[in-house]
Amino acid sequence: MLEAKGVAFKVLDQAGMDTSSATGKLLFNILGSIAEFERDLINARTAEGRQAAKAKGVKFGRKEKLSAEQIESLKADFEAGVLSKEAIANKYGIARNSVYRLAGEVRT
């Protein structure tokens, strides 16, 4: 990619790191391959750890802000139509769009 743009990469305090020479290109490509290999190893270990955690029942992501009972109460408030959507949001400490999402109604 650098070569296509007519650019050479040279590290001033490291001998051999000069992509304008054949040795420098080789070293640059080897280091790039090692970095890619290391990244793949990290991704594999992370995936294994995630699978092991899921097998142990670990939950990922944010904790739910409202309990199941609160969500049912929110749905009842929503369907009753007595409170405004903003008042419901304030009552439960959530955003107004979350009221619509939790109540199961899609706004258009």
Q: What is the pLDDT of residues 3-41, one digit of tens each?
A: 778 887 787 777 777 888 888 889 889 999 999 999 999
pLDDT at 10: 81
CA distance 72 to 9: 62
Backbone φ and ψ of 56, nearest 5°: -85, -5
Query: Does the pLDDT of residue 46 top 90, yes or no?
Result: yes
- Could you report the per-residue pLDDT of 53-65, keeping only the tens digit for each? 999 999 999 888 8
Query: Does the pLDDT of residue 108 top 60, yes or no?
Result: no
Say how many residues make up the chain: 108
Orientation of helix 85-92 relative to helix 68-80, angle to 10°: 160
Which residue ranges make up each domain of the chain? 3-55, 68-103
CA distance 56 to 54: 5
Do 98 and 89 contact (CB within 8 A), yes or no?
A: yes
